[in-house]
Amino acid sequence: MFRMNWIPETTIAAAWLIFLATYAVVALGKIPVYRIDRAGAALLGGSLMVATGVLSLEEAYRAVDSIRSCCCLA
């Protein structure tokens, strides 16, 4: 069950910044200067979410597993 814990405002700001930057790269397709495509942006965004403490490693594993399960059902 999802439990809402107190989250510092800096963590929320980091989450929004990472999400918006990742979403922008996915929308654009790639960033030529850094040679990052959509898949690379998604991997980097997820890694940054774990590194900054927005998601725990267990939450990241569960998110990937639930997405994989949904794709198998489609």
Interval 53-66: pLDDT, tens: 998 999 888 888 77
Residue 58 domain-assigned? Answer: yes
Residue 17 domain-assigned? Answer: yes
- 70: amino acid identity, one letter: C
Identify any residues that bridge with 31 across adjacent strands, giving them in sequence order. Answer: 36
The number of folded domains in the chain is: 1
Residue ranges of the chain with pLDDT lower than 50?
Answer: 1
Residue 63 domain-assigned? Answer: yes
Residue 65 domain-assigned? Answer: yes
Containing structural domain, residue 20: 9-73
Per-residue model confidence (pLDDT) at position 20: 95
Residue 1 domain-assigned? Answer: no
Residue 4 domain-assigned? Answer: no
Q: Residue 47 corresponds to which tokens in the numbers above?
A: 């890694």
Residue 3 domain-assigned? Answer: no
Per-residue model confidence (pLDDT) at position 22: 92
